[in-house]
Amino acid sequence: MPQVRIKICGITTPEDARLAADCGADAVGLNFYPKSSRYIDPRQAAALVRALPPFTAPVGVFVGMPLRQVCSVAYQLGLRGVQTYDENPPNEDTFPFAHLASFRIKDASGLDLIRQFIAAARRTGRPPTAVLVDSHVEGQMGGTGHLAPWELLAGFDPGVPLILAGGLTPENVAEAIAVVRPWGVDVASGVESSPGIKDQDLMLRFVQTVRQAADLLPL
């Protein structure tokens, strides 16, 4: 059976980091975008990374920060991956950090942009490790609770693993998996009691639902 990986994003406390891992998350997202309600200062993030068990990957979320600085923060904190929002392919190699290139999609032109991004990145030998597709909400970079266009993404193969984000909850993630068939899913607001504060029951239900939905996918 195919496995669908799970990233719980917008973790703001060591306690929630450990809870997310205990609930079965494969990765947790630490948001370093100052305009986000889930923002954490990189200087405070070490405690969150320390709280994680060895097989739960910490991923940093960055917006508008030069890639060299992104990798510097990732190195200092021991992150496993970096998630960026940038329409231009990376001008530097992110290795040894996995690179999640993130896109906010509202129509088919967004899929063309992803294809162009990956083609250009391949030409420089720096394709992203995965592509994360989020919903497009003007002026906001993720965590909005708005759904990404699932039907548009059905059958979309960017040539690298596809991670689906945007408005996912324990109630709708099974349908999203059935329609999009993503490599992974990313959730923030859908497992919160308030912005940046995770709900253990919602996280556990989300993970269990993803695992059950993945069991139903054809090989």
Catalytic residues: 9, 134
Of 153, 198, 199, 144, nearest to 177 by C-alpha is 153
C-alpha 135/C-alpha 161 separation (Å) is 18
CA angle 145, 207, 164 (to 5 degrees): 45
Q: Are strands 81-85 and 57-63 parallel, antiparallel or unpaired?
A: parallel
Residues 6+ apart with CB under 8 A from 9: 28, 29, 31, 38, 59, 61, 142, 143, 165, 186, 187, 188
CB 174 within 8 A of CB 205: no
What interhelical angle do 200-215 and 173-180 show, nearest 10?
30
Question: Widest CA span of the chain, in angstroms?
Answer: 45
